[in-house]
Amino acid sequence: MKVLLVNPRTEGMISTELPGYVSKEVGHFPPLGLLYLAAHLQRDPRHGVALVDMPARDVSYEALGQRVAAERPGVAGITTTTHNLVEAKRAAECIKRASPGTVVCLGGPHVDAFPELALAWPSIDAAFRGEAEASFHAYIDALADGGPVDAIPGLIRRDGGRVVVAPPPAPPEDLDALPFPARGLLDPRDYRHVLGRRATFTTLLATRGCPFKCIFCSTPHGGCRMRSTANLVDEMESCLGRGAEELHFVDDTFNLRAERLGEVSGEILRRGLAVRWSLRARVDRVDAESLRLARRAGCIRIHYGIETGTDEGLRALRKGITVGQAERAIAWTREAGIATATYFLIGCPHERSRADVLRTIDFARRIGPDYAMFNVLAIYPHTELHAMAVAKGLAPGGEWEPFVRDPRPDFRLRFWEESMSATELTSLLRLAYRRFYLRPSVVWRQLRGLGSPGELRHKASAALALLGGRG
User: Which pLDDT value is given to residue 122?
Assistant: 96
Question: Which among 66, 84, 85 has a CA at the least distance from the CA of 4?
Answer: 66
User: Which pLDDT value is given to residue 219?
Assistant: 74
**276-281/299-307 β-pairing:** parallel
Q: How far apart are CA 80 and CA 92, in angstroms?
A: 11
Q: How far apart are CA 126 and CA 106, in angstroms?
A: 6
User: Which pLDDT value is given to residue 192?
Assistant: 81
User: Which pLDDT value is given to residue 220?
Assistant: 63
What is the dihedral sign for C-alpha 418, 420, 426, 432? negative
Whole-prediction pTM? 0.92
Q: How far apart are CA 137 and CA 151, in angstroms?
A: 13
**126-128/155-159 β-pairing:** antiparallel
User: Which pLDDT value is given to residue 4?
Assistant: 98
Query: Could you tell me which residues are beta bridge partners of residue 75?
Result: 3, 103
- Please say whether the beta carbons of 246 and 208 come within 8 A: no
pLDDT averages per 10-residue partition of the chain, 471 residues = 97 68 62 97 96 96 98 98 95 98 97 96 97 97 96 95 94 96 92 74 93 86 86 97 93 93 98 97 97 98 97 97 98 98 97 97 97 95 94 92 94 94 96 90 62 51 48 37
Chain centroid offset of residue 35 CA: 14
Q: How far apart are CA 8 and CA 349, in angstroms?
A: 34
Contacts of 177 (CB under 8 A, 6+ apart): none
CATH for 2-165 is: 3.40.50.280
Write the Ramachandran bin of 93: left for phi over 0, alpha for psi from -120 to 50, otherwise beta: alpha
The number of CA neighbours under 13 Å toward the Cβ of 261 is 30
In our burial notation (b when 16+ CB lie closer than 10 A, e otherwise), range 212-227 reads bebbbbbebeeeeebb
Out of 3.10.180.10, 3.40.50.300, 2.40.40.20, 3.20.20.70, select the CATH number for domain 191-377+416-468. 3.20.20.70
Q: How far apart are CA 43 and CA 157, in angstroms?
A: 25
Judging by beta carbons within 10 Å of its beta carbon (0-12, 13-18, 19+), is residue 162 exposed, middle or buried?
exposed
The number of CA neighbours under 13 Å toward the Cβ of 37 is 32
Domains of the chain by residue range: 2-165, 191-377+416-468
User: Which pLDDT value is given to residue 418?
Assistant: 96
- Please say whether the beta carbons of 180 and 238 come within 8 A: yes
Query: Could you tell me which residues are beta bridge partners of residue 48?
Result: 2
User: Which pLDDT value is given to residue 429?
Assistant: 96
Question: Which among 307, 261, 263 has a CA at the least distance from the CA of 281?
Answer: 261
